Amino acid sequence: MSEYSRLFSSGADPTRVVLNPGTEDVLICYGYRENRWKLLLFILLSCSSFGFVLLLMLWRPELECYIKRKKCHLIEADTILIQDHVKRWFVSQVKTNGFDDYIGVPEKYHQFRDLSDDDDSDCSDTTKLRQPDVSLKYFDHQHLRYIWEQEVRSFVQLQDLSYNTKCSTMQESFQGLSQREQAQKQVVYGENLIDVEVKSYWRLFIEEVMNPFYIFQIFSIILWMMDNYYYYAACIFLISLISITISLRQIKKQSIALHDMVAVSEQTIEICLGQGRGYEKVLTSRLVPGDLIVLPQNGCTMTCDAVLVTGTCIVNESMLTGESVPVTKTPLTHQEDEEIYSPEAHKRHTLFSGTHVMQTRYYGSARVTAVVVRTGFRTAKGELVRSILFPKPIDFKFYRDSMKFVMFLGFIAALGMIYTVVIYIRDGIHPFNIVLRVLDVITIIVPAALPAAMTIGTAYAQNRLKNDSIYCISPPRINFGGRLDAFCFDKTGTLTEDGLDMMGTIPVHNTSFLPIQTDPSKLDHGPILNAMATCHSLTMIDGELSGDPLDLIMFESTKWVLEEPGRDTSKFDTMMPTVVKPCTRDTFLPNQEQPPLEIGIIRQFTFSSNMQRMSVITRELGKEHMELYCKGAPEKIISLCVSSTVPVNFIEVLQSYTLQGHRVIALSWRPLDPKLTWHQSQRISRDKVEKDMIFLGLIVMQNKLKPQTRPVIRKLIEANIRCVMITGDMIETAVSVARNCGMVPPNDKVIIVDAVPPDRDGPARVEYRHSEMPSDSGTGVSLEYSQVHMDGSDINFHFAINGKSLSVITNHLPDLLSRICVVGTIFARMKPDQKCQLINKLQSLGYHVGMCGDGANDCEALKAAHVGISLSEAEASIAAPFTSSIPHIECVYTVIREGRAALTTSFACFKYMALYSFIQFVSVMILYSFEANLSDTQFLYVDLVITTSIAIFMGYTKPTLVLSPKRPPGSLVKLSNLLSIIVHVVLVALVQVGALFYLKSQSWYTRALPSHDAENTKCWETTTIFLVSSYLYMAVAFCFSRGPPYRKPIYTNIPYLITLVSLVSFSTMMLLLAPHPILNFFGIMPLWEKSFDFRLLMLAFPATHLVLCWTAEYTLTATKCVKKIKALCKKKKKAQDTYKYIRSEIMMTDWPPISETSSGNDIQAMDQEAKEEEESRNAKMIN
């Protein structure tokens, strides 16, 4: 019984279903249908609320179902309410497609998978349709289709050939679809298109304006217009219009870029109609899973994912990998018949959508064919585009805290509104003016410019990054860069140079290594030279040798030549295979008595990252038998060789080169049975020939560090940012590079973690062993049984683990995984999906993780990281938030510096805008008590001249050149921030109240005359509050603009400094000099009539505030005062981040046990013991 059948047979809720359970794409779906009474209620609510209900439904899509529709059984639903794994809501409409009389109704859609007797028909990928009135019922969500499965009475995700299909089925069952079958499938799967919608400017404008931020601004502008506050309303309108225009241009530009990237011009392709019906050309948009397509000889751009069944293709996969290296794709073999097809596991047979087929090759005029596996957004390219269109939501504590603080401001506004109503009713103010003043309180305490002010620092940082050739397509991610405490790096092409240099070949003679031969072309003719000349996947394309860079370097070092007879598209002639021969006089002027030295490559077993090797079957001219040459990872090759042919010092020699960071490849050879015929060689499985081989030697290649790598890693470690290497290379090479670049300090140990899955010898287990250090060779000192000792301050060892062992730990020893991830620095032999899983695991432990890669196999990890930086401009890297056109890791340091400066600026701007709101709130509350208010010009001076100019230039301060060891805070509700805001609010309130009492103490003071409209703007109360408060805005701005350790000093921000000096000078001129025209313009009482001492003492209030404000800010943010307060208030809790707790736990133990094997039970016992110790310590602390 299928999973869905079990779900509904157990009495589950028929109105609800969980789709994609156990994955990140899990969806909880609820069925709803239209209800006339609810629809009528919705219309009444919409009219009575003047459309506000429509806005709420736009912001909260689930309200559409709650208000307009009725919950129902899924089979009756016309609307599906969807909740994803991060609690976001979506609404999708249920659609119905019918099958017309021409195409008929399929007996069942599920005709792609090999259904054996024990298969469960419930697991079909589409519904079985039965007469009468048969139709396809489905809904689409984020470009994936979910169809109604009648047998389980639920929706299930539409599957294709990549799901539970045997390889034998691919080759035997899909010989082409008839026109009717194809039409039936087109109804189910839809068109084979990846179409990114480019919305019109008008539609983008409407969607942008519906944002709550702009709705609040529209409300504020309308309110200000009603209050005759035209100037500021016009300014906010203009600023908002400019902001919307810039935003729309960016969105439109990105949409067009993505649309152009995925767009493929309409083309035709030949398909087989099956059962001797011949072939016909169809549009590629009409392809469906199961079609047998014919690939043209001169290549094409793939528009679907297809598995090759006949012939061979040369493919450029730069769109997916970022590397413009031709890749050879071979057809499925009969040795794989019983395997379940997987695009990832069988990628050497799979042509992916978006990749360019450069050439196809087969016998003579025979067709090269492939079975369509996936179409549209279900393809590999479609998944990439979907990840860009629907990115993982940014979960940043700063933004969550910002919303909480805005809600708190709303609560304060409510208190202010109540106070205003009480005061104005007591004084008999006109109701209209009461409503106006009450609503005005909201726009004062929650400033409309708050979101714009908070993004200013990010905008400046983005522009500076662009000047440094670093391009950011997701500006909010810049703030994430300020919180990073772990950064992962790919090795090849990121930490090291892209290219490899041939260092030499180390031949083996009589089971002993010979000295390294730096010029392989001078080697004597023999198996090792033949292996270097033949064991590769190189091919001639338009007369030029192309292929993997490592293969090119190896082959070119032999100084041999490669010849491929025939045309590029038909190089499979049985009598004339690909030939390699030395480029010598004897080759071109051969001796008639002896045949020339030529080797034909009969068959090629392509390289597989899972198998870690490739091999070829060859035949040398004049010999009676074929030979097998194999190359690959040394540890894999020696496992396939006769042990007696492997030198006894193999490990020492290998480590002597890998520990220096060199790339080492092993070679092996085996003569094959003379009875093996050509036809048998084409069908024999590789495991039958890749065994009992003779070890030939090693190829050593240099992979140098980039000049910028070592200094950048050093600076990151000095800034307490953990550096991690994730590579597909050998673990010994990775360890060496980690030491050379400084990831592993000289005095720290590297411990290699080996994990073994459950077998006959027992359960899964893990062993820890020291990695041999270069300085230890020849000393005779064994490190095997040494203990790991802590220096008391930090962990002084690093784990190195390969992808295979990490997979074993993940699946069988999950309790150990967190410790491995916390202490692990080198992760070698990692597959692309493992890189992404490691990033996700680090994030779950509390790390803010960055990732830098060159785009080759790093795409998933770049998308998963908080900050992903691609060093490649390939199309696959468009999903990375950052792309650097400068191909070295200096960009990492730059992004983190800018991120810290932007985050600090965002905090400063937020605190400033909050204090600006509170200052003005206190001002108007005081004035409302006197039935007075600030004049429009006074409001304009504060809101526009002071606040806007300060907010604009505050973020212009550049980041410091050196990263501080301490990260900037990431939470607004941190105690130091809360105390800072509270203290400043108290100070500004005391200063304004104090100035008012000083005014009332004057003998000439008379209270403002009562006003029934509460519009008394020219009185001594208003004058005093306005003049004193204008200084307060500048004072808090100055105090919040501290530079180091994340930004340069304030005096380096010349525009900001000039703005502050100008504003202070102007306000001081108004207060002390009291020029008549300016005071009259602002509606200020005649200050010139009062004594200069009064005005001077009035200036003392803001001057005192500045001193107190600076002292408070410095005390709360730059000293240990807050820590002492926290210690007095409560007992110390364990570290908030999981990884900090794990690190402290490791430091208190003697773990890991070197050269001891630990099973799952041992690890659980160790964890239990650690927990008991922790509980004991906590109990002692409480007592």
Nearest C-alpha neighbor of 293 from the set 323, 271, 260, 313: 271
- Whether 505 contacts 698, CB under 8 Å: yes
> Does residue 490 have an active-site annotation?
yes
Contact between residue 615 and residue 646 where contact means Cβ atoms under 8 Å apart: no
Phi, psi torsion values for 496, nearest 5 degrees: -115, 170
Q: Round to whole Å and give the CA distance between 1105 and 1103.
A: 5
Catalytic residue among 84, 125, 490, 729: 490
Of the candidates 42, 352, 262, which has an alpha carbon nearest to the alpha carbon of residue 875?
A: 262
Say how many C-beta atoms besides its own lie within 10 A of residue 1025's C-beta: 28
Torsion over CA: 1080, 1082, 1083, 1084 (sign): negative
Q: Using only C-alpha atoms, what is the Rg of the chain?
A: 36
Pick from 1106, 1101, 1067, 1104: which is nearest to 1087 by CA? 1067
Residues in CB range of 741: below 8 A, 6 or more apart: 495, 705, 709, 710, 713
Structure tokens of 648?
């006894």
Query: What burial class does residue 103 get, using C-beta atoms within 10 Å of its C-beta: 0-12 exposed, 13-18 middle, 19+ buried?
Result: middle
| Six token digits for residue 837 | 């899983």
Distance CA 249, CA 257 (A): 12
Tracing tokens 């809904």 back to the chain, one arrives at 139
Q: What is the 3-state secondary structure (H, E, C) of 705-752?
A: ECCCHHHHHHHHHHCCCEEEEECCCCHHHHHHHHHHHCCCCCCCEEEE
Residue 496 has which token pair?
Answer: 């090291």
C-alpha to C-alpha distance for 776 and 310, rounded to whole angstroms: 54
Taking the C-alpha atoms of residue 957 and residue 1054, their distance in angstroms, rounded to an integer, is 9
Phi-psi region of 87 (alpha: psi -120 to 50; beta: other; left: phi over 0): left
DSSP string, 238-296: HHHHHHHHHHHHHHHHHHHHHHHHH-----EEEEE-STT--EEEEEGGG--TT-EEEE-
What is the rounded CA–CA span in Å between residue 1037 and residue 942?
Answer: 13
Contact between residue 610 and residue 345 where contact means Cβ atoms under 8 Å apart: yes
Contacts of 1112 (CB under 8 A, 6+ apart): 980, 983, 984, 987
DSSP 518: S
Is the four-CA dihedral 398, 400, 406, 407 of positive or negative sign?
negative
Q: Return the amino acid letter for 438.
A: V
Q: Residue 268 has which token pair? A: 């035709």
What are the start-end ranges of the H helices in 482-547? 527-534
Query: Would you list the DSSP string of 967-1019?
Result: PPP--TTSHHHHHHHHHHHHHHHHHHHHHHHHHHTSTT--PPPP-TTS-B-SS
DSSP secondary-structure letter at 903? H
Grouping H, G, I as helix, E, B as strand and the rest as coil, residue 523 is: coil
HEC-encoded secondary structure of 111-166? CCCCCCCCCCHHHCCCCCCCCCCCEEEEEEECCEEEEEECCCCEEEECCCCCCCCE
According to the 3-state scheme, what is the secondary structure of 94-110?
CEEEECCCCCCCCCCCC
Catalytic residue annotation: 490
